[in-house]
Amino acid sequence: MDRLHHKAFPKQSEALATILELHGTLKSALCLNCRKLHDRDEFQDALSDLNPDWKEYADLLEQTGKEPRQNPDGDVELQNRSYDTFKVPDCLSCGSGPMKPAVVFFGENISPAVKETSKRLAESASQLLIVGSSLATYSAFRIVKAVHEQGKDVCLLNVGPSRGDPLVTSGLRLETPCLPVLVAVAQRLAQRSDQPADPVLQKLLTSGIIKEVDTIGKYPASS
């Protein structure tokens, strides 16, 4: 949802052609009138221009390290703040709106185009690997169900129960944290002598911060 997966590609065009964001992305803003997508950074700049007091407040939170915890859907809960004077920019294309993050919220449906693409990918896949998902949403579970009904192998790597457990191929249900498995796979790929060194993979393996989680109860549920 935050375009993290796209960083594994040297070119953004390759990422967009390869990755299907089933529930959208917070990197874009969507006009509910003309359905035009806008770059989230540009929309954020327009928000700041219309709401200088809020921009000052956000900068202060960032500078003092007191930014509120962000939920998986991008929402945050702010205490003792009034939204009465908050202004939302009109669509930069049609001049109307309203605008919203280009994500599928709870209770909404994925677009017909995305649904059709997910169906096509399921039909063309030889097998399916699910990593770190409870498959709580039916739009994700539908893909697993389609692959299973086609008689193809389904492998699930996840801590805790998943809606897709009954559909997993025997012996391919792995109850283990995703992080060490994915890191080990990436390291194996980076060490292959029959392939040229991948600078993007090397950068991903040597940058960022890895935080270990001690107990199963601390893992957030995902969909």
- Which residues are marked as active site? 23
How distant, in Å, are the alpha carbons of 160, 215, 216, 218 from that of 212? Answer: 17, 9, 11, 10
Output the six-digit token pair for 159. Answer: 């801590």
**109, exposed or middle or buried, with CB in 10 Å at 0-12, 13-18, 19+?**
exposed
| Segment (H or E) for 156 | strand 153-157
3-state secondary structure of 100: strand
Smallest CA-to-CA distance from 74 within 15, 17, 16, 3 is with 3
Q: Per the structure block, which two tokens stand in for 200?
A: 């993007």
